[in-house]
Amino acid sequence: MSVFDSPAFESHEAVHAFHDAATGLKAIIAIHSTARGPAAGGCRMWPYPSDQAAIDDALRLSRAMSYKNAVADLDLGGGKSVIIGDSRTEKTPALFEAFGAAVEAVGGRYWTAEDVGVSPADLAASRRRTRFVAGLEGHPAASGDPSPITAEGIFRGIALCVRRAMQRDLEGVTVALQGVGHVGSILAGKLHAAGARLIITDVDEAALSAVARRTGAEIVPPGAIFDVEADVFAPCAMGGAISVETLARLRPRIIAGGANNQLATPEAGQALYEKGLLYAPDYVINGGGIINVAAEIRALEAGEAFDPSWVEAKLERLMGTLDEILGRSLAEARPTHAVANEIARARIAGGRG
């Protein structure tokens, strides 16, 4: 299958493949759109079963970044990179230096940051070969790890959804949290502090135990999270958690979490709507991290210091956009993801904000 035949291809501007024999780097950089500015999106390292799976993931993720950046009202386009490999056993500084050279070869049309399997420490090696890296520390423009801001946006979004659907705050609300990695563990702490009851799952047993000790959360096996009694289902692991099959098992009133590409298919989004569930579109509710990264890119380009107040203003506006999406979905009798896509496409077509 060619790139153009992939079901994830949607008028992408460019797809770059890079290989470095000395380090074993195999990477894909996908640029969906630069209509609003240079493409920005994290780098994911994952042991994909095939090159085609890696390409498809890069295409899906880069398109989602275009939508995410537009909905967050950022002067950035959408891009994403993936490195084919096991992040637990195949990481080396040399590999990430080679990845930095790949980013540099794209000529400033793409800014990278951390994503699944990649840490700011990894990207510090990439920074030796390119300046187009965000999410690092040690300079005045540094934004640091974007995970806490991502979690803060998801927390605010869940609270907004609970107010809309249940007319209450988070005290006593049960949240089924799928995934307690960087973002999920921070989100769990915020939900616990707000009085929510947590049911959690992850493939990482050590992470589960740590979160359960801090929050009193109930632990269930990964496959059982779809069957628990909960008010909110918060997918914060890999994508595709919401399918027609899992929807038949899910019982919450609200789906709101941090994972990218939560809907396995467009049909799942329609089925979710027809079931009467309130869904916070993933690339809207999880936009806090890219806002943080955008603040760093903005500061680096201007030669200024990082501005937390700019991040807070953008995050507040994003929550306003989420509220608008939920309201329009109700008023227009349309799924929330369809409303969000319409807003994102209009902003992309309009170019820079």
For the four alpha carbons of 23, 27, 31 and 36, in that order, the dihedral sign comes to negative
Spatial separation of the C-alpha atoms in residues 145 and 166, rounded to whole Å: 33
The CA distances from residue 154 to 130, 159, 220, 226, 289, in Å, are: 31, 9, 22, 20, 10
Q: What is the largest CA-CA distance in the chain?
A: 58
Phi-psi region of 341 (alpha: psi -120 to 50; beta: other; left: phi over 0): alpha
Query: Do residues 125 and 154 lie in contact, with contact meaning Cβ atoms separated by under 8 Å?
Result: no
Task: Let me know if 91 is a catalytic residue.
Answer: no
Closest CA to 313 of 288, 345, 296, 348: 288
Dihedral of the alpha carbons of 62, 63, 64, 69, in degrees to the nearest 10: 80
Spatial separation of the C-alpha atoms in residues 275 and 155, rounded to whole Å: 24
Which residues have CB under 8 Å from 245's CB, separation 6+? none
Beta-sheet strands, E only, within 74-122: 77-84, 110-111
Q: Which helix (H) or strand (E) holds 75?
A: none
26, 68, 80, 314: the active-site residue: 80
- Angle at CA of residue 72, ends 83 and 255, nearest 5°: 80
Surface-to-core class of residue 41, CB atoms within 10 Å of its CB (0-12 exposed, 13-18 middle, 19+ buried): buried
Residues linked to residue 178 through DSSP beta bridges, in sequence order: 201, 235
Query: Do residues 102 and 83 lie in contact, with contact meaning Cβ atoms separated by under 8 Å?
Result: no
Query: Which residues participate in catalysis according to the annotation?
Result: 80
